[in-house]
Structure formats: structure tokens, C-alpha cells
Structure 1
Amino acid sequence: MKESFVSIQGLNLKYQHKSVLTDLNWTTHRGENWVLGGISGSGKTSLAKIIAGQLSAIGEVKINFDTNNLLPAEVLFVESWYQFKNLEGVANFYYQQRYTSQQAKDTLTVHAELVSYGKEKHLHLDHVEPILEALNFSSFASSQLIELSSGEHKKLQLVKALWLKPQLLIIDQPYTGLDAASRKNLNILLNEVSEDGVQLILICNDPELPCSVNRFAGIRDGQFIEVNSLTPLSATENHSREIPGFLKESPVYSSGKIVKMVDVNISYGEKQVLKNINWEVKAGEKWLLQGHNGSGKSTLLSLINGDHPQSYANELYLFGNRRGTGESIWDIKQHIGLISPEFHWYFDASSTVWQSIASGFYDTVGLFQQLPYSKSIQVDELVDYFGLTASKNELLSSLPLGKQRLVLLARTIIKNPELLILDEPCQGLDQQQTKHFNQLVDELCSNGMTLIYVGHFESQLPTCIEKRILLEKGEVKVVENILESV
């Protein structure tokens, strides 16, 4: 009989009087590497936090570490996103701070963070270099933590975890924000640490998994269920709803040209992030923006959304006006609906679901004024469309990550903007939620909305996309019509 490694008996967890886990039992054995999949909000992350000792619950959790194993006898839980702090130990950042120069010495560099982690965990710094190279992260050594994109932060989390090699490694959404090459290399690294004795629990619904994974499971109605693959867990009831009437109206365009960039350059000191960018987006076009992690995508979008101060030093036209000719950042944002992982990080978690969606009318990170009745009705319609009625008065921060993302997606489209900027919009969503959202994007774009969509997963893209721009090391590598290239 195989020796048990993690033994869970009679686990119960309630959150705000709602049962999340109910008399859950689960035993893992040595040599087993698990994937937990299934719908968003089913309790997967809560279960992982309980195993890692980060969340209390009623029941018994026993971990039988191997005392003869040279690997650290600990559980490391890698969260779905990275919570970093400044040099004073505070995490009080704001969204645009990443693009300003004032924070230059406010956070550690990647190298300093790794040195600090290595000292804390008694690790050799030379052992981390192969991991950095495999994930194409070596060039970020001098980057401040606040300068990193969501995908780059994910890489930093993964580098530290693979460097430590604990006896039990739990990773929540391991592939979030990673480009295709990085996902492939991550799987190779996960296979290697598994051979070294690390046991894995991955929380995800992604089909491209390391070959060392040999067990599949999920949580349904608070109970642990083992399955033969992730497919049975991805099927959920499809609540098909008609798109709200106010979103069926075509946007009113202020100009036929949404974006025009002429030889745009962005640098931080000696580091050039964007190089001679020339790009034009016309009203009604649907673009896919792609590139490896660190290629400059987030910086490019920050120029369009009015968040980057260096836009004034470049020839940049937004909605028919040259940047810096008198328009405010709020004038620009009136035309745009935006969602990005970084925006999610900095959003006001003290707002309710309803308030969060309503704030999209005013482009604020919280609702600070009372809505007219007509706008309140539109918020109610979107709450219903996204299946959030039962949660509308709950705090955004109290929802599972997937539902938080749905709330912010609803916020993004509430004003039926001329331009939708969707940067990895389906991070944290289950397969059914992703399908539902992309159907909505297709319908909105059929009514004439302009789209810039960032997505690393080819299988998670809306069908309406017509054109593609590919960045490589800050330069435009490809501009093409997708319909002709397929």
C-alpha cells in the first residue's frame, strides 16, 4: 500500500454563513501530483490555503513529511497573484504608479528580492540562474517590483517556488499571464522538481499540463471528487441571457481614428521599453495585441489609456486629438472601457459588487456619487446578465477571484465605450465563464465597438478579432490581417 502524504478528514468551511466545504475527505499518496479543476468559486483556493496553514477550518489535516528527504519539510502555496510591498513594508500602491518615475527607489529590484529570499530560505543564489533563464526572466534583474507586469510577477513567484523545492508545492493558476513559450518551459521545470521529490497540487483548468501530473480532481457542492481528466469538471450549466438593450446600440464615435502612434519611444533611464512604434487603430477595428512577457504590451496600452506620462513627449493621437493639446486623462477615459490584471490589483476592494460596476460610468476605482435612476437600471441589467444578483450587495473582496473578474468586466462595458481594452480579461474565469464572456465581446463588437484584446491562450479568444500586432523586445514585429493569414 502506498504511503499517505496529505490526509484530510471531515473538513468543513463556511464563509459568511455559506458552506464552502462540507465534510470533505481527501488523501494523497507519495508520488501523486494532482490538478484541482472545475468552476470558479467551488472552494479550490480555500482548500489549498487550509492545507498550507493559511486558513482555519473545522476538520483534520495531516501532512506526513519525509524526514529522510533533503527537501524542505514545508508546504509552499503560490497564490494566483503576487502581493509585494515597498521598502517600508507597505503595499499602498496606486494603478498609474508603475509608469511614473517617483517610485524609482520605492521597491526592491528583482535581484534584491531574490537575494533576500535566498538568505531567508538558506538557498544558493547560483542555483536560481537556470530557472531564470528557462523562464526568460534573467533580463529583469534590475527591474523594480512595481515595474513588472502581471505575467512578470507570476514568473517571480514561480522562480522562488522552483528554487526552494519544498516537499509540497501548491500553485494557484500557474499559467496566468504567461506566454506560450514560458508555459512550455514551466511544465519542463515542474517535471524536473517532481523527479527531485517535490509533490505538486496545481489549481487550474488548463489542458497543457506537465506530464508528471497523474491525478485529477475538483470540488462540487463542497465535496471532493476525483475524475479521470479535467473535462467533466469544466461542464457547467450555461445560463444564456440576452444582452442588455443599452449595449445593443452602436457607440457614438468622436473620430474615425481611435489611435495613431508615430515613432513612439518609451524609456526608463537607459532601458528602452518601446522603440519606434507606428500603429493605427481605426473605429470599429478588432485587434489582437500579442508578445512575450516583457515585450512592452502593458506600456503600449498605458499610452492609449492616458496613464503614461511619457505620452506627452511622443507623437500620439487618441480619438482624433494629439496627446497634450489640452485634454485631461478623464477626457480620454470617457471613451474607453479597460480591464487588466494590474487594474484588478489596485481596485477598491471595499466597494460592493453593485458599486464596483456602477463606478465604470465615472472611471473611478470606487463609487463616490449617486447614480441617476436610468443608470441604476443599467447596472441592475448587467448584474443580472453576469449572474451576480445574489452577490450584488457583497464586498468585491469577499468574492472568489473569478467572480471578482466578472464584476470588473461588467464595469468595463457599462458605458458602452467606443474602445474596449481587454488585457487578459479571462484570467481567473472557468471555461464556461470564459466562453460566455467572449460571446458577449463578439456581440458587442458586432454592434461596431472597437477592440484591443491581449490574450496568450489562442483557445480563449473571441471570434471577432480581425487584425494582429505582435511586439518583440519593444518593437513591432508583425502587423497582419488575421482573416487572410489563417
Structure 2
Amino acid sequence: MGIAIHLDDLSVNFDDRFQLNNLNWSIDAGQHWVVTGTNGSGKSALAAVLAGVGEIEQGSLSGLPSNVGLVSFEAQAELIAKELKKDDADIMDVISLGTPVHEMIFDDCQDPKLAQELVEKFGLTSLLDRAFRKLSTGETRKVMLIRALSSKPNLLILDEPFDGLDAGTLTMLQEHLISIADTVPMVLVLNRFDEMPDFITHVAYMDKVAPEPKETHKSRSEKKMSGAGKLALTVDKNDEQAFHELYQLLHLKTTDLSVPEADPSTKLPDLDPSQPLVKLKQASIKYGDTVIVDKLDWTIEQGQHWQLSGPNGSGKTCVLSLITGDHPQCYTNDIFVFGFQRGNGESIWQIKQFIGYVSTALQWEYRVSTSCRNVIISGFFDSIGMYTKSTDNQKKIADQWLELLGMKDRADQPFNKLSYGDQRLLLIARAMVKHPPLLILDEPCLGLDDMNRQLVLALIEKICEGKETTVLYVNHHAEDQIKGIENHLGLKKNN
């Protein structure tokens, strides 16, 4: 177990198909890691780096042991492809039968006794004389596992090791991994947290990034990179709060659950689908001689998600207050919202019923000690706290939101006892329960650490996947992009 592997600012290219960028990671003695993340984020690529795969483009990789045991779908496919190539032997008028299983397992085997025990445990004894390429996917997987486990590895890398195994084999494999955990450091790639063995000490979370354009030599044809990933977070499993937040993040990123339906009893009036939600024409805000917003034209169509960014003093909050009707100059501007021409007798509540709003200021105001479930339910009544009896259906919808957030087990916990990030998630759910046509998220990541920021962004992505609510995401940085938000308005500070 005396290893120390270090990845320092490491970038690795995989045949111009995938890129891992700026990896900084250490695997120290006594540690066992799980690598997890969304599909296409580079989990398997990171595991492959530890097996010496990929072209290092910058940075350094040190401490890799000489004997690495690897099981992955890519390695499995490569081995089968080599076997299939033997069919080309018909040039010599010879029918190739392929390599038998016993050769695959026992040739160059470092621990034949263990290999034989695993063959018997995994039920492969009757298949030892069969050609490797004639095995089923699950049987091939078992052969790969036996080869790796009996190679006396200094590091064992298992990419989705439990996939394709029957229940009995899965249990035996889990028991064997537990039995060697004190002597062999392991890195497991897993999609599901419930498959994580108890001996795991740390978790690495991978995330997708937009690939950087690759500079190519003039003599080489330029190839388009199909994807890129980064190591976004590492978590010590003993840090219960951080581990729970990572579980929530993975749940939000990978769950099949969608945004819960609205409650029919609180259904909002229908809007004209042919009309924009918001239209500002030459909108200006001035205080004396100071111009904050100058002749802004902006149209927000239904289903058209927007990011509004700009530095402090650029007028972001002023523009929002023109939309919500909270700015006194909204009646001196040409503003159309939700079918109303501003200043024609509409009430502020006729406007606000179509808007869900989340801000740091709202979180400061929401200091009541109501339960997590009731915080969400309060969104049906636009109240801070609960002062109206809720219906069974509203409770059901609130519980569906809690399940989506990965907080089902905390439905009755007091809101004011939660972490800052969990409070923010609940307030976004509260704003969404009525499925408002427009959801305004004013600096929703302000005050959040990186983990909770990613949680909030994952929830916003989930909301953007829906069809009924248009998201207006307000922040300082234009580069802080969210999947699903394709329109951007950048404000500049007037001198």
C-alpha cells in the first residue's frame, strides 16, 4: 500500500477524441478512490491515465507503479478485437479457433493458485477450453477480473467492475475486494453510489467541459475534439457534509426524475404563446445626471433561457426591477410584460404571479424555522412561512421536489438548520412549484462554496430541460455558463 501517485497540472490527449485538462490529484498510501461523474465527463479516461494510456501534453505524472491491474470496457473490447483479427488467418487456409480461456487466464499468471480459486468461484471451470471470443459479455468480464486480480498488482483499477455480473458473482467480487483492501490500493469507476464498497476512503468527481481548440502542426489534418473533462472535486468520505453534497450533485446530474408537475388548484392564467414574456424598448434608468441603464432593447421569448451578466453598478438589479415592477421608473419606460403594457392599470401582483424569484436577499428574509417540506409548499401561497393549510396534493408535489433534490430524508428537518447551499436549493424549488412562466435567479450562487455552487447549477440545468418555465440567470461572470442557457445579455458600467 506504500504508493504515492501525483498528477500535477496534467493534460492528456486520447487520439484527438477526448481531452483531460489540468488534472491535479494525489493518491496516497492507504487510500482507495471512487471516480464518479456524469456520462462523457472523463471517468474512464482518468482511470486509463493511471494505466499509462493517453498522450501527455503538459504537466507531470509521477509515482505510477510498474504493475497495474486494469479492468474496463475499453480494455475488454480491445482484447476481443485482437482475438477477432485471428479470423484473418484464412489466408493460410487455417481456421482460427481463437485463444482458449485457460491460456488467457494462466499464461503469464503471477498467482496461479488465486486464479484457480477465482475460476471456481466465478463458475468458469467448464469454460476453460472454450475460445475467449465465444464467451458472453458477462463471462468475458469475469476472465478480465481474474486476470487483473491474479496479476499481483501494485494498483488495481476497476472501471464499472460490477456491471454485467450476476448477483452471486457480484457478491463474491465485493467480498474479495474487501479481503485485499489492506494490501492493494484501488481506484474504482462507478456511476452508482450504492455500489461503493465500505473500504473506499475518497471520491473524485469528474465533470464535462467545453474542449479547447487544439493547435495542430500544418502537416497534420486538423481533427475536432469530441469531448473534454476535468477533475472538478475530490472529497474525503469521512467528511459527512461534503460527501452528502457530492451525493446530491451526482443525483441531480444523473437522475431520470424531471421537474414535478404543477398543482391544478394553483394554476396560473394562460399567456398568449405568440407574445413575448418581456419586451423592453429603449429602456433607460437615470438618477439626476447619472445614467445607469441607457436605451436598452431586450426581448425575452417564451422558452428562451437567458443569462444576464455584468459588473457591480452595471444595472443588473435595476433591469430586473423594471421587469418585476419594483422600480419607480418602470412606468416612465416602454415595457411590455406577460401581456400587460406597463402603466395601463395593471397591479404589481398581476405581474408578480407570473414570476418566480430567488435571491440572496430572499434567503436572508426566510429565517422562519419551518420544515423543508413546508418551505416548498409556501411557494404555492407566495408566503414566507406557512399560514395556510396545504392540500394532500401540494404535500405530494413538495415531496417530489425533495426527492429530485436528493433531500427526501430531510423533509421534516427545520429549514434554518440546513447548510446555506441546501437552503438555496429549497428556495429555488419554492419558486418553481407553480411553474411560473419566468424564473429569475438573481446571483443564485453568491455566497456558496464550489460544491454547493455546482449543486445549484445542476438544478438550474434540470429546470432548463423543462418546457414551461423560462429561466433568467443573473450573475457577474459571462463565462459562468449553464447547459440549456443559450442567450446572453451583458451589461457594462456607464462611466
Larger radius of gyration: 2
TM-score by length of 2: 0.46
